[in-house]
Amino acid sequence: MKTLRLLGRDTTNGILRRSFLFIIPLLFAVSQTRELHSYLNDLVDRNALFTNGTLADYILFATKGMSVYYFDPKEYFQIPIYWFAFQIGLAYLLAYYASDDFHSNGRVLFIAVGSRSKWWISKFIYCIVTVVLYYAVCIGGICVTAALYGADMRWGVTPGLAVRLYTTSTVSMGTWDVLCVTILLPVLVSVAVSQVQILAGFLITPVVSFAGVCAMYVLSAYYTVWYLPGNYTMWQRTSYIEVDGVNPASGLVLSAGMILISLIGGLMYFDRKDIL
C-alpha cells in the first residue's frame, strides 16, 4: 500500500503536472502522419499508386528512423530529426523529477514510509508508466490522424507503398514482426534507457545523465551496433530489413539487462545513501 501511495504521488507530480510535455509525441504523430498523407496524395496525382494507406503503413512511416548508415565522404551524415526529437522529448520528460523529489522530500518520505526500497520501486514503476503513456499518446495520435485522412485501419502493409519507401524485404514482414519492431521493442528499449538515465541522475547529475542519453542517440544514428540501444528504436535498422542490421532478440536481452541492473543498482544505492 505504501508503494502504491508513493506511486500515486509520483504520478501526480511527475506525470500530471508535467503533462504539457506530452504535446511532443502528439506533434510527432501528427507531423509524420501528415507527411505520409502528402506523399500518398502525390502518388495519386502522378497516377503511380492509388491508396490511402493502412494504419500499419502510417506507424511504419512514423517509427522508421533511418536505415543503416554507411560512411561516404561525399555525403553528409544527417540525424533523422523527428526520431531524435521524439526520443529526446522522452528523456527530458524524465530528466529531473526523481532527483528533484529526492533532494526536496527524500528525507521526509524515507522516514514516513520507513523503507528506502519502496521509494525507489515507486520511481521505477513511475518511469515505466511514463514511457508507456508517452508512446500511447504517439500511437493514439497516429491512429486518429490516419483515420481522419481516410486510412484503412487494418494492420497490414501496403506492398506497393512499402517497396517505394523502404527495401523490398519490408513486404515480407508479418503482422507480429511489424508490431514487434515498431511498438513493442521500441517501448521496451525506451524503458531500459529511461531507467538507466534516472539512476545515472543520482550517481552523477540529471544534466549530465540527460546529455549522455542525447549523445547515445546520436551515436546510435551513426553506428549500427548491438550495444547502442537507440538502434532498436528504428525498425529499418533491424536484421529483418538490413543484412547489417541489429537482431531484435539482442535488443530484448540488452533491454532486460539494463532494466534489471537499474532496479538492483537503485536498491543498493539508496540502501547505502546518507540522507542526513
Residue 273 domain-assigned (yes or no): no
pLDDT over threshold 70, residue 191: yes
Tell me, what's the pLDDT at 109? Answer: 74
Tell me, yes or no, whether 276 lies in a domain. Answer: no
Contact 120, 270 (CB under 8 A): yes
| pLDDT tens-digit series, residues 197-232 | 999 999 999 999 999 999 999 999 999 999 999 999
Tell me how many domains the chain contains: 1
* Residue 168 maps to a domain: yes
pLDDT digits (tens, 9 = 90+) for 25-63: 999 999 999 999 999 999 999 988 888 899 999 999 999
**Which cell is 233 given?**
528504436
Tell me the whole-structure pTM to 2 decimals.
0.93
Residue 17 within any structural domain of the chain: yes
113 lies in a domain? yes
Q: Which residues contact 189 (CB under 8 A, 6 or more apart)?
A: 229, 230, 232, 233, 251, 254, 255
Does residue 77 sit within a domain? yes
Q: Which domain holds residue 13?
A: 2-268
Domain membership flag for residue 193: yes
Output the pLDDT for position 275.
62
Residue 104 lies in a domain: yes
